[in-house]
Amino acid sequence: MRAARLHEYTDDMANGLSIENVDRPAVTAGDDVLVEVEGAGWCQTDNHIIEGMWADYVDQDLPMTLGHENAGTVVEVGEDVQTVSEGDQVICHPVQTCGVCRPCRQGETMYCENQSFNGLTVDGGFADYLQTGERSVIPLPDGVDPTDIAPHADAGITAYHAAKKAVGDLNPGDTAVIVGVGGLGHIGLQCVDAMSAADIVALDIKESARDLAAELGAHHTVDPSSEDVAQVIDDLTDGTGARQVLDFVGADSTTALAPDIVAAGGDHHIIGYGGHIHEPSQALVNGEFAFQGNIVGRFTELQELVALVERDEVDLHTSRYDLDDINTVAEKLEHGEIEGRAVVTP
């Protein structure tokens, strides 16, 4: 089968991955599930993996097939699999869990002590076939296209995971700020809108992104490159600030907004990453706000997101690319030239 493989870390996105012929994964364990990949979302994290940004955080044995946002059709299952069968269309949670460690028993599947992460620590879905496990696949409702929904396997549940935490502290009339209305942000905005009665303010330097935000439910849009964000939020909230901020950019300039825009006792959720937090400890003490990290989401949260998709509460904006164009996708994303999410179709 064909697969897009990373052999060495590089900043050259034009030549980051190579298309190779490799052996098709084999079903060896009783809970194995083999999926023919119909759609694999390209994520900014894939660019970061190619750059080697994750090498200090997880063990990566190169060469490795990337791709952690996957959906397709089940073609083979292990002898113990009961929840899916050959021919079922599924979306694949990127994390394969053991199910027996303490975090798994507590439902915190993202903290599994024995996990494998497709496209990050083991081979992923930028290939004809993906090997995963029964605990990681969710059958798709009739009428849901695996290619279209694939990015929800990571981008979607990461945004949903953050939104779910945020809406728990949003009362009707509170203000929520969405920083960055790109591939993740446009999903997160819709999740906050679907699950709360908050006033949503969307920040993005692109006019097209601000227009999209307005279409998707934002009550106000702000251009950070030409407007004083802190003053706008102050005016909109009568000086109290935003109860919840969801930062889908995670740059130094966006995390620096927190002391000036987050309400007392509120949260600044970090979803995008690559920057740093450089705030004096007194700023957190004075406002008693918190920075909250987010990574992917639980298996059950992916089930919940699929339910929102089925109810047309969350619409995913995608563009499709052939596997042969995978490095072109990486370059386009690096230069901010992709609106919504890119989906690779092996």
> For the chain, what is the domain count?
2
- CA–CA distance from 139 to each of 87, 92, 154 (Å)? 10, 9, 16
Distance CA(138)–CA(141), nearest Å, equals 9
For 143-195, the pLDDT digits (tens) are 899 999 999 999 999 999 999 999 999 999 999 999 999 989 999 999 999 99
Same domain, 21 and 136: yes
For 235-293, the pLDDT digits (tens) are 999 999 999 999 999 999 999 999 999 999 999 999 999 899 999 999 899 989 999 99
For 211-233, the pLDDT digits (tens) are 999 999 999 999 999 999 999 99
Residue span of the structural domain in which 78 resides: 2-154+296-345
- Do the beta carbons of residue 179 and residue 299 sit within 8 Å? no
Same domain, 148 and 167: no
The answer, yes or no, to whether residue 301 has pLDDT greater than 90, is yes
Distance CA(289)–CA(187), nearest Å, equals 24
pTM listed for this prediction: 0.90
Average pLDDT, the chain: 95
The answer, yes or no, to whether residue 316 has pLDDT greater than 90, is no
Residue 105, domain CATH = 3.90.180.10
Which pLDDT value is given to residue 325? 96
**Which of these three, 267, 293, 319, is where a domain ends?**
293
Same domain, 138 and 264: no
Same domain, 198 and 254: yes
For 82-105, the pLDDT digits (tens) are 999 999 999 999 999 999 999 999
Helix, strand, or coil here: 341?
strand
Same domain, 110 and 82: yes
Residue 169, domain CATH = 3.40.50.720
Which pLDDT value is given to residue 295? 87
Same domain, 133 and 261: no
- Do the beta carbons of residue 216 and residue 191 sit within 8 Å? no
Same domain, 7 and 136: yes
Same domain, 276 and 306: no
Same domain, 50 and 80: yes
What percentage of the chain reaches a pLDDT higher than 90?
A: 89
Same domain, 313 and 173: no
Same domain, 235 and 340: no
Same domain, 82 and 140: yes
Tell me which of 3-7, 69-73, 94-98, 282-286 is least confident. 282-286
Which pLDDT value is given to residue 160? 96
The answer, yes or no, to whether residue 337 has pLDDT greater than 90, is no
Structure tokens of 11?
Answer: 């900043």
